[in-house]
Amino acid sequence: MNGMGRERGMMTDEEINRMRWAARRGMLELDLVLEPFVMARYAGLGADDRRRFQQLMGCEDQDLFAWFLGRQQPQDQELAAIVRQVLDFARTHPADR
């Protein structure tokens, strides 16, 4: 590790902050789904799921919007898996997260 931020296993606070920033999309509907997921779940994801989430953050907002509204599903099964996790989180009552 580069010594920046406090380490969380193989992850640093810096990585979490990067993902929080990436989750701020400027579209309220996406912001309300993605940033809470990062804050509550990202640090607990395994390396593969963190990689999938990072890949997801590289997608276009209109694709994310369609996926999270259930209008479409990603063709990439890796992306579809992380979209399901984010949706499951978003559909869980905040007190039960």
Residue ranges per domain, the chain? 12-92
Q: Would you call 12 helix, strand, or coil by DSSP? A: strand
Does residue 1 carry a pLDDT above 50?
A: no
The second-level CATH assignment, the architecture, of 12-92 is Orthogonal Bundle (1.10)
User: Mean pLDDT across the stretch 5-21?
Assistant: 77
Question: What is the pTM (predicted TM-score) of this model?
Answer: 0.85
DSSP string spanning 21-76? HHH--S-HHHHHHHHHHHHHHGGGS-HHHHHHHHHHHTS-HHHHHHHHTTS---SS
Tokens of 55: 């890949």
Does residue 84 carry a pLDDT above 60?
A: yes
